[in-house]
Structure 1
Amino acid sequence: MAVIDTLGLPNTTGRRPLIVAQVVDALGTGLFLPFAVVYFHAAKGIPLTTVGLMLSAGALLSLPAGPLGGRLIDRIGPRGVLVASNLIRVLTFTAYVFTDTPWQLVLLVTATMWGDSLFRPAVFALVAQVADDGHRARWYAMDRSLRNAGIGAGGLVGSTLVGWGGTSGYTAVVALNAVSFLAAAGLVATWRRTAVPRPAGAAGAAGPVVPAGDGVPAGDAPEQRRGGYREVLADRAFLGVLATVWVFALCDLALTVLLSAYVIEARGLPAWQPGMLFAINTVMVVLAQTALARAVERYRRPAVLQVAAVLWMVSFALFAAVPGEYAGPALGVLVLGMVVFTVAELLQAPTSSALIVGMAAGHLRGRYLGLEELMWSLAKVLAPTVFTWLLARGAGLPWLALGVCCLVAVVLLRRLHRVLPAHVQRETVDA
């Protein structure tokens, strides 16, 4: 246990099938994610502009999925919603193989994005149920590390299949993705939590955790209390947190939506550099996420998020200062900016999720997480249009806008530091 604690890993006894399900899910996602646009263009013969419209339409039509999923989580429990999200994607990815009609693909893409939007809050709610006291941030950190590793490995396998099989390789990638979702759904659906001994020194460690209800600890099953989104929206502190979630989602999306276009188009640098920057980000997340989550768990969460926002501001300033006319120095600045960017990401992701779960009453937890997902979905809809519009008007404008957004987040988090109860800002950490 000492080594596990040093690495920042949570106690996984009795919960390993859930971890395997996450890895399988991430491998499948990694198989398809790098080829999402190319698949519809190369394998289905659809023009790239039409593919872009399909994906944008799907993103817009899936906006209600997060809030609806939150309501379902509170009514039936997170595990049922998690299984349903995987089964939806089993059906859609299987159907991709058998149709090349654009309007049918729009429906399938929309359904897939609904499954994606149901998945995230369901996972976070399930983790909130099964995690030991004070270790939710560690679980979120481990989940993120495993997902990045799985997506990276899946991407390598997918690249091999596409390079080896051409169009047939694309079909194999889609079929394997459907199989991965089916396997993940089966693992979660059949898992039954047995009594799990708490680690020595854990808060309230008087004996094993006894499962109840939906295979989760007693008292953590969905509470049969009335409440709805009106009650959630009356939580003014949470509305402030939602604003920071939206800002941080834009910051995170800058990596996938903005950085490559900025490096290659706006600065005229070699096309291989963005790939190397993505690799640095992935390796850092896989190797450092859990250890850093453990290192900061003693600090108040709003303060940790403030540090993340400031570090993102520093990284954006570095990106904006990249000298396009000098490839060598430019690469050095980009690498430094990516390291700082990734540290900010490592601090923000598990901390923000743990903060939201800590704020939510048990019977409203799904709704809180559903609104968090809605903020991410809105950012995904807006980011491509806003980032490209700003980039066309000045290479540094997107980074300046993101920096201003982070400054607003710092101010909001300062207020939250004053108004949130101590137990929300920092869970009791095991000795």
Structure 2
Amino acid sequence: MDENGSVLGIRSFWAALPVEGRWLLSTVAIQTLGRGLTLPFTIIYLHEVRGFDLALSGTLMALIAVTGLVVTGPGGALIDRFGAKPVLLAGLTAMIAGCTLLAFATDPVTAGVALVLIGVNFGVSWPGFNALIASVVEGEVRQQYFGINFALVNLGIGVGGIVGGFFVDVHEPATFVAIFLVDAATSLIPMALLLGPLRHVRTHAEHEDDAGEASDKAPSTYLEILRQPAVLWITLLTFVAMFIGYGQMEAGFPAFARQVSGVSTQTIGFAFAVNTAVIVLVQFLVLKVITGKRRTRVMQVMALTWAVSWLVLGATGLVPDTVVAAIGVLAFMGVFAFGETMLQPTVPAVYNDLASDRARGRYNAINAAAFQGGAITGPVAAGLLLGHGLDAWFIAAMVAGCVAIAVLALALERRISPKVNGVTASEPEPATE
């Protein structure tokens, strides 16, 4: 917010950013272009191009999250000890190797190794980049930064999805090889940033005294952090949101759209483009509305929005292989995207407002672990349910998850302070427990 309490405009927001924040934000869309090329089509590649069973393909996809979950804890501790830069560089190196190997994988073992390497990057990139952002951007600008960063991430992914939808052909494996190699190449961009303009950014205390007396009293070990009720509730909420949300974007949604709705890969690519368009067009407007409002209430509205989106996707299964089904798939992604614009600015902001500087890497690692945990169970559940023809049960599970998010947000609201909940001083907030 500016000095008059109004939400920053785009120009004012940009002016308020330090140089390092501008570097990070200005390259986000290009960095994620490669990810957009492969995100919607990895499970299709494993199942339809390499010939793996759908359930096996879903399990292989889950290896990304399993590996990420394993390395996230140590990664967060290493970030707090040595800084985000060396940890992120190691993760990006693994990403390049994993995408390159997956491009030429013709058997499940090779594909599994490649996906494990990709998972290493996912496990450290979330806490690493969030710690980097929180170190560079402070105050009210931070929530806006998370929201705008998310919009730009989706811009890159959406453009990649459009290009990938037109480019890939399940009858031409070379087209899939090409997109995975491009994904590997785009990881060189953040590596260049970390070794160049961002090389002096510090995300950790070099000495114990640097953290300050107040930080010494704050929780710093994983056990101490997780003993806080607020952290437990926001972590459980994040897990459920990832299970029914992003855990399905690489597995459940594409598989349902192809196997049940009967739409083409081009339609799936366009669906991701719709997702991007909605986020890019409305994210800043949503930020204006939610700034100063209770983040937990915003999460509840998001849960309702997502429930509607999954019901729309389920309805497409009633009219498979039709134009109506294709429109429904596109509509699903549009409604789902609107919900995303409420989730991404709020959850990371809650974690980082709860965190002390001394343990910021570990707070963000817990956030990442919840993300990966939901992403582990999401693809596996989708593969098992859809692989056995339980299409209605799949949709029912997604809607039930949305209801759970709304309940968890209400519980979280009673356990965080007004400041952490994003409430301005002028708005009343019930006392926390």
Q: Is the 8 A contact 2:151 2:283 kept in 1?
A: yes
Give a deviation string over 1:374-417, Cα, whole Å, max 9, x none: 22222222112323444546543223222222222222221222
Structure 1 residue aligned with 2:380, among 375, 379, 385?
A: 385
Q: Secondary structure at the match of 1:293?
A: helix
The TM-score normalised by the length of structure 2 is 0.79
Corresponding residue pairs, total: 407
Give a deviation string over 1:122-167, Cα, whole Å, max 9, x none: 111111111141122211112211111212333455567767x966
Offset at residue 294 of structure 1 (A): 2.9
Offset at residue 362 of structure 1 (A): 1.9
Are the structure 2 counterparts of residues 268 and 347 from structure 1 closer, same or farther at C-alpha, using a change threshold of 3 Å? same
Q: Secondary structure at the match of 1:386?
A: helix
Structure 1 partner of 2:86: 80
Are the structure 2 counterparts of residues 184 and 54 from structure 1 closer, same or farther at C-alpha, using a change threshold of 3 Å? same
**One-letter code aligned to 1:90:** I
Aligned-partner Cα distance in 1 for 2:88–2:211: 14
Pairing 1:29-428 to 2, within 5 Å after superposition: 29-37=35-43, 46-49=50-53, 54-94=60-100, 103-156=109-162, 170-192=176-198, 213=202, 225=216, 227-253=220-246, 254-266=248-260, 274-322=268-316, 324-325=318-319, 327=322, 336-391=331-386, 392=388, 394-426=390-422
**One-letter code aligned to 2:86:** G
Are the structure 2 counterparts of residues 118 and 160 from structure 1 closer, same or farther at C-alpha, using a change threshold of 3 Å? same
Q: Is the 8 A contact 2:58 2:379 kept in 1?
A: no
**One-letter code aligned to 1:242:** T
The TM-score normalised by the length of structure 1 is 0.79
Q: Is the 8 A contact 1:8 1:291 kept in 2?
A: no
Aligned-partner Cα distance in 2 for 1:324–1:365: 47
Could you tell me which runs of 5 or more consecutive residues in structure 1 were left unpaired when the two chains were aligned: 194-210
Q: Is the 8 A contact 1:24 1:181 kept in 2?
A: no
Aligned-partner Cα distance in 2 for 1:411–1:402: 15
Aligned-partner Cα distance in 1 for 2:381–2:201: 47
Aligned-partner Cα distance in 2 for 1:105–1:402: 28
Are the structure 2 counterparts of residues 52 and 336 from structure 1 closer, same or farther at C-alpha, using a change threshold of 3 Å? closer
Q: Is the 8 A contact 2:351 2:363 kept in 1?
A: yes
Percent of matched pairs sharing the same residue? 24
Structure 2 partner of 1:204: none
Are the structure 2 counterparts of residues 222 and 383 from structure 1 closer, same or farther at C-alpha, using a change threshold of 3 Å? farther
For the aligned residue pairs, the C-alpha RMSD in angstroms reads 3.9
Aligned-partner Cα distance in 2 for 1:333–1:177: 29
Aligned-partner Cα distance in 1 for 2:359–2:224: 9
**One-letter code aligned to 2:359:** L
Which range is displaced more, 399-408 or 388-397?
388-397
Q: Is the 8 A contact 1:319 1:334 kept in 2?
A: yes
Q: Is the 8 A contact 2:161 2:269 kept in 1?
A: no
Which range is displaced more, 236-245 or 68-77?
68-77
